[in-house]
Amino acid sequence: MYKKQTDIIRTQIERSQFLEHSTPLYLTSSFVFEDAEDMRASFSEEKERNIYSRFTNPNTSEFVEKVCKMEGAEDGFAFATGMAAVFSTFAALLNSGDHIVSAQSVFGSTHTLFTKYFPKWNIETSYFKINEVDTIERLITPKTKILYAETPTNPAVDILDLELLGAIAKKHNLILIIDNCFATPYLQQPIKFGADLVIHSATKLIDGQGRVLGGATVGRADLIREIYLFSRNTGPALSPFNAWVLSKSLETLAVRVDRHCENALRIAQFLENHDKVNWVKYPFLKSHPQYEIAKKQMKLGGSIVAFEIKGGITNGRRFLDAIKLCSLSANLGDTRTIVTHPASTTHSKLSEEDRLEVNITDGLVRISVGLEDVEDILNDLDQALL
């Protein structure tokens, strides 16, 4: 039996002589051994202990353990970025010739991995449209190994039914992987609905303060074992310093996300009644097309609001130029409200037709709602919509 990543911590973080309340920062690249026998037993994994920070480190293990507890996962591994988590997870589990079935609307760099890099290793991906989940089973072939999705989606805030995805994965014996970055484990735990692995970009709401990059994959211990072995040899590990920051961030996740969601709902309701707005999408608005599914699988509606401004690209850009309090940035899940116009920025390289396939219309504006006083955000949006 191999050791679990998360078992290593408590044996390692014994209280130091200073009895500090916060976890100390273990900035060390390697760890020393008592003697030759200790070294042998450690390398053969008979002993649970830290060897080298590319494998494990007390700070990264603490972070992983917390994410596992929140997600209801058996084990996990922490990465330098969310994309390192995505890439390493797939690379560890797939062989040449394997096939992925993925939601069409996934994070941009994940999509690039699927379309540009994985085909180099003879790994192909088929996509299902968010609004056509009944097509998923038709895409599955004997070579399909992984079913992959994000919910809520970026930037259109569509919702996928996790219970349905869990049932399909089980029926066809696929590994279901969910990128849970938008919801956070506080709002949604995909493992409850049948996910085998959950991926996070900790850069977003887990840090939530725009300071560090990080990522994690948590879930079934047997799969994590493969991901751990791949990662310990290829080197995408999270730095101890970032792990230390992120561990502390998790302690405020619930209060931050509560406030993000409270502000986001108010903003969604405000925009829904605004005459310069065609429509608003927010999972916990009754008008959201997948409102019932959102209610079933999410505790609150999340921090992202999407709306369509009247007047397409021209007015979308004019709106961004008029924004004062909110920031124009590519990030999301920050204490500060961020506004983006995908059609003229992140998704401008796609044709209009391809954008519409993932529900990105020319007037779509995405707001990552922050922790400011909600009246200040509402005033800023209102003056910019004039």
| CA separation for the pair 18, 336 (Å, rounded) | 36
Bridge partners (DSSP) listed for residue 144: 99
In the list 66, 99, 204, 288, the residue contacting ligand PLP (rule: CB under 6 A) is 204
In the list 81, 217, 303, 315, the residue contacting ligand PLP (rule: CB under 6 A) is 81
Specify whether the CB–CB gap between 293 and 318 falls below 8 A: no
Output the six-digit token pair for 238.
């999270």
Q: Does 88 bind ligand PLP (CB under 6 A)?
A: no
Q: Does 51 bind ligand PLP (CB under 6 A)?
A: no
Phi and psi torsions of 149, nearest 5°? -160, 165
Which residues have C-beta within 8 Å of that of residue 142, sequence separation ≥ 6? none
Q: Does 242 bind ligand PLP (CB under 6 A)?
A: no
Q: Which is nearer to ligand PLP, 81 or 247 (CB)?
A: 81
In the list 62, 65, 75, 150, the residue contacting ligand PLP (rule: CB under 6 A) is 150
Tell the smallest beta-carbon distance from residue 285 to ligand PLP (Å): 21
Q: Does 215 bind ligand PLP (CB under 6 A)?
A: yes
- Tell which phi-psi region holds residue 69, choosing left (phi > 0), alpha (psi between -120 and 50) or beta: alpha
- In terms of DSSP bridges, do strands 304-309 and 277-281 run parallel, antiparallel, or are they unpaired? antiparallel
Only segment of 132-140, 199-207, 231-239, 247-255 that touches ligand PLP (CB under 6 A)? 199-207
Q: Does 158 bind ligand PLP (CB under 6 A)?
A: no
Tell the smallest beta-carbon distance from residue 332 to ligand PLP (Å): 6
Q: Which is nearer to ligand PLP, 8 or 130 (CB)?
A: 130
Q: Does 154 bind ligand PLP (CB under 6 A)?
A: yes
Q: Kindly tell me the burial class for residue 299, based on how many C-beta atoms sit within 10 Å of its own C-beta (0-12, 13-18, 19 or more).
A: middle
Q: Does 113 bind ligand PLP (CB under 6 A)?
A: no
Q: Which of 290, 291, 279 is nearest to 363 (CA)?
A: 279
In the list 26, 107, 127, 319, the residue contacting ligand PLP (rule: CB under 6 A) is 107
